Amino acid sequence: MFRRTRRTRNNAVIRDLISNVNLSMNDFLYPIFIEEGSNIKTEIEAMPNQFRFSIDKLKEELEEIVSLGIKGILLFGIPKDKDETASEAYNENGIIQKAVRYIKSNFPELLIVTDVCMCEYTSHGHCGILCDTNVDNDSTLEYIAKIALSHVEAGSDMVAPSDCMDGHVYAIRNILDKNGYYNTPIMSYSVKYASCYYSPFRIAADSAPSFGDRKSYQMDYRNSKEYITKIENDIKENADIFIIKPALSYLDIIKDVSSKFNIPIAAYNVSGEYSMIKAASKLGFIDEKKAVLENMHALKRAGADIIITYHAKDLSRYLKEI
């Protein structure tokens, strides 16, 4: 005798009653690109409906974000000037620092998370300090810590180091604690793979490396074990939230981490994943709304507590319609 599982699927009300994977606007963080300059609102060609904003053009965008029920944003900065040590990244009057102060003053209800890295700010496009043509891990830590502190001093609610240096969480936690910011959480890009899915982001943020690649410090997707060590290291270093990136090609990693560790997980639904949906939808190959909702539920089902996604504004509408 077989069990008729279809009995609980043949009625919409029953399906709703027993569904146990649900989405709300509380689940999402929305990334925003902020460019130094004025009167800038430029659509990113590789990411339809995503823009680079100057601070003077943020007001309308942030008003919409708040009205849609988005509670938190993740900021990426694009400076005018770049150098070998990413000095604009930790300048107290840098683009992110000024943006944080503006948002805190005008939209205090928004949670501000700031990406902490050097790639957008270095002349060579790599995520740290170079020694010949290699990124030097330990000398980079000092700069990453300085960047994080400058963001928090400007008013950032949470810092998210994405540089992938070993020991970066410890370096940030140490400098924040020394300066009295004991309660500022760190959302670490704990499991960040070297991925082709970042290509649209690198166009958006002017952050592509000018030579080589980032495979020596971002993780190899062919390795099925290293992510455990990365998570364990960040736990020991006192990270508070753990990002897994990209998201959709790494559902197995999200699921395994959520099963093995009692930690908050943020899945980063990255630019390439977003752009593929937009491109396929434009060509009429898929239904965008259905595809986005299916993907978001997959991330939640795998174990994500937070979803960082460029779809967040669309999801506000989609969730009201279902």
Residues that are catalytic: 192, 245
Instruction: Round to whole Å and give the CA distance between 271 and 125.
Output: 18
**Residue 265: φ, ψ to 5°:** -115, 130
- 134-135 and 130-131 strand pairing: antiparallel
Among the listed residues 66, 46, 68, the one whose alpha carbon sits nearest the alpha carbon of residue 58? 66
Instruction: Round to whole Å and give the CA distance between 282 and 319.
Output: 21
Instruction: Round to whole Å and give the CA distance between 102 and 117.
Output: 21
Instruction: Round to whole Å and give the CA distance between 198 and 276.
Output: 12
Q: Could you give the C-alpha distances from 317 to 50, 70, 116, 308, in angstroms and in order?
A: 17, 11, 30, 17
Find out whether 230 and 188 touch, Cβ atoms under 8 Å.
no
Distance of CA 158 to the CA centre of its chain: 12
